[in-house]
């Protein structure tokens, strides 16, 4: 009895501790993210007024990238890239220690990038700002290494939840994104509370979120043809995710090999984007929320200036932006690519009634594949699009997650599972250093099949020679 009471008391004290800490951290992060989101809104509003008949805001891209690179290299080198990646790296390799200077530097560099038209998102900086805030609080209170990690993961969840207005998906994302195939249950409660506290705070301070009505209602209990389309869609979105991840990695490696200094590369990358924009239009710049809304429009139509290769162009714009030194997140471009590719899929199969639902499935399925977060993506589908989409979203998201393979937009993710029992994957490795090989048993099976085929060919050749 005494032992039972001791256990329950210890658990109660731990729960009380993390309810208090995660609530306080979530509220603080909510205030910081509110300032960040309102700053982005001001930058986008001013961006419209900045352009004139002969000068467009995207002409500033080369200068903006140079300034962004200078800010980050000078004041906070760990603010480089798209935010979430650096937080994952800090949790796995640096005991979750994040330089406090990351917060203002990441915020300013992202604002400059978005104002000039760089193709980035806001969730990566949000997650990095949230994690940086949590890390700073942990350092101030002299937390242990384990408690610091927990608090920083809460910061990731709070940042993601308050940027997109999805508190449950944000909490799950924070614990699912770190290790592929592993949910960190010990951080689940504080992540939920931090995400909800941050989301509630931003709402209280006047932030309004966008939720989508795709007007999808289940007419029959078991719609087998539609389920078949959803399976095909999941396969397609997995391939789209793979294209996106490959493009980001290949572009980064290509630009890294160019024999110029970082500032020259930044200026060159911005110039290339400005030229591409001149020919293809401004649709592929910035956050692209307008295009996402068009793709999710429940009234089935395909805008004249939205060609079938829109998702490819957005992928190229985003890859060049991030590889050249632009600062910002990757998730909003992932949403863009997913939504427009889903809209394209709906038109391709000729299912005009459900084009918006396929755009919604693409929205969350490409996220699941590109970030290896199928559970968070499924929950996000419910929070953004409604409960009716839940089972289809789960099916499409998991298929996309598997088809993408052992790749990710976050190269510091660790592998906690193999996506196929045929493959030999070393668990615990970073995804960027993982070697994907066939399992020894499967290799022997293949060798055996080849040997039997060879023997069969020899017998057939022998019979043919005897007939001749």
For the segment 78-90, what is each residue's pLDDT rounded down to a tens digit?
A: 777 777 777 888 8
Which CATH topology does 2-204 take? Answer: Clc chloride channel (1.10.3080)
Burial of 226 (C-beta count, 10 Å sphere; 0-12/13-18/19+): middle
One of 2.60.120.380, 2.40.110.10, 1.10.3080.10, 3.40.605.10 is the CATH number of 224-261+294-415, namely: 1.10.3080.10
For the segment 122-135, what is each residue's pLDDT rounded down to a tens digit?
A: 888 888 889 999 99
For the segment 337-352, what is each residue's pLDDT rounded down to a tens digit?
A: 999 999 999 988 876 6
Q: How confident is the model at residue 246 (pLDDT cuts 50, 70, 90)?
A: very high
> Tokens at residue 352, please?
């005009």
- Find the mean pLDDT for residues 19-24: 93
User: What pLDDT does 370 receive?
Assistant: 95
User: What pLDDT does 463 receive?
Assistant: 65
Percent residues over pLDDT 70 in the chain: 87
Q: How confident is the model at residue 468 (pLDDT cuts 50, 70, 90)?
A: low
- Give the dihedral sign, CA 144/195/100/412: positive
What pTM was estimated for this model as a whole?
A: 0.89
Cα separations in angstroms, 45 against 39, 49, 115: 10, 7, 9
- Find the mean pLDDT for residues 185-213: 91
Among left, alpha and beta (phi > 0; psi -120 to 50; other), residue 117 is: left
For the segment 51-110, what is each residue's pLDDT rounded down to a tens digit?
A: 666 778 899 999 999 999 999 999 988 777 777 777 888 888 887 888 888 889 989 999
Within 10 angstroms of residue 18's Cβ, the number of other Cβ atoms is 22
Radius of gyration, alpha carbons of the chain: 24
For the segment 179-189, what is each residue's pLDDT rounded down to a tens digit?
A: 888 888 888 99
Collapse the DSSP code of 329 into the 3-class scheme (helix H, G, I; strand E, B; otherwise coil) and give the result.
Answer: strand
Contacts of residue 185, defined as CB under 8 A and 6 or more positions apart, other chains included, come to 175
Spatial distance between the Cα atoms of 106 and 104, rounded to a whole number of angstroms: 6
Look over the chain and give the mean of its residue pLDDT values, rounded to a whole number: 86
Query: Do residues 373 and 173 touch, judged by C-beta distance below 8 A?
Result: yes
At 118, phi and psi to the nearest 5?
-60, 140
Give the CA angle between residues 120, 122, 125 to the nearest 5°: 100
Within 10 angstroms of residue 431's Cβ, the number of other Cβ atoms is 19
Query: Do residues 112 and 145 touch, judged by C-beta distance below 8 A?
Result: no
Contacts of residue 106, defined as CB under 8 A and 6 or more positions apart, other chains included, come to 76, 79, 83, 125, 128, 129, 132, 327
Q: What is the DSSP string of 226-240?
A: HHHHHHHHHHHHHHH
């Amino acid at each position: 009895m005494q032992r039972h009471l001791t256990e329950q008391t210890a658990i109660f004290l731990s729960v009380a501790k993390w309810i208090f800490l995660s609530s306080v951290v979530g509220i603080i992060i909510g205030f910081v993210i509110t300032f960040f989101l309102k700053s982005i809104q001001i930058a986008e509003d001013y961006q419209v007024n900045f352009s004139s008949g002969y000068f467009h805001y995207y002409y500033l891209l080369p200068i903006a990238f140079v300034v962004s690179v200078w800010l980050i290299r000078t004041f906070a080198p760990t603010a480089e890239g798209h935010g979430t990646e650096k937080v994952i790296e800090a949790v796995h390799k640096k005991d979750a220690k994040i330089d406090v200077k990351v917060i203002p530097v990441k915020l300013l560099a992202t604002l400059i990038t978005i104002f000039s038209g760089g193709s980035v998102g806001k969730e990566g900086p949000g997650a990095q700002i949230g994690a940086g805030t949590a890390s700073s609080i942990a350092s101030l209170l002299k937390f242990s290494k384990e408690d610091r990690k927990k608090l920083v993961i809460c910061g990731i969840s709070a940042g993601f939840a308050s940027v997109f207005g999805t508190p449950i998906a944000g909490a799950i994302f924070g614990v699912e994104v770190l290790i592929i195939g592993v949910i960190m249950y010990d951080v689940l409660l504080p992540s939920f509370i931090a995400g909800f506290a941050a989301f509630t705070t931003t709402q209280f301070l006047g932030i309004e979120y966008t939720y989508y009505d795709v007007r999808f209602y289940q007419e029959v209990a078991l719609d087998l043809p539609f389920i078949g389309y959803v399976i095909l869609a999941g396969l397609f979105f997995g391939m789209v995710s793979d294209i996106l991840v490959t493009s980001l990695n290949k572009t980064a490696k290509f630009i890294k090999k160019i024999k110029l200094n970082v500032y020259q590369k930044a200026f060159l990358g911005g110039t290339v984007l400005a030229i591409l924009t001149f020919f293809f239009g401004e649709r592929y710049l910035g956050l692209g929320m307008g295009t996402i809304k068009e793709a999710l429009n429940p009234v089935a139509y395909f805008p004249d200036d939205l060609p079938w290769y829109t998702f490819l162009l957005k992928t190229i714009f985003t890859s060049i932006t991030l590889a050249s030194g632009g600062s910002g997140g990757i998730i909003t471009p992932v949403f863009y690519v997913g939504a427009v590719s889903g809209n394209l899929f709906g038109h391709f199969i000729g299912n005009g009634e459900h084009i918006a639902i396929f755009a919604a499935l693409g929205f969350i399925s490409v996220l699941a594949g590109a970030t290896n977060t199928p559970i968070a993506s499924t929950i996000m589908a419910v929070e953004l699009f409604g409960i009716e989409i839940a089972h289809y979203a789960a099916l499409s998201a998991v298929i996309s997650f598997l088809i993408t393979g052992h790749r990710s937009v976050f190269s510091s993710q660790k592998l906690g599972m193999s996506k196929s029992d045929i493959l030999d994957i070393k668990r615990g490795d970073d995804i960027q250093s993982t070697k994907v090989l066939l399992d020894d048993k499967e290799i022997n099976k293949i060798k055996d099949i080849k040997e039997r085929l060879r023997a069969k060919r020899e017998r057939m050749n022998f019979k043919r020679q005897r007939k001749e």
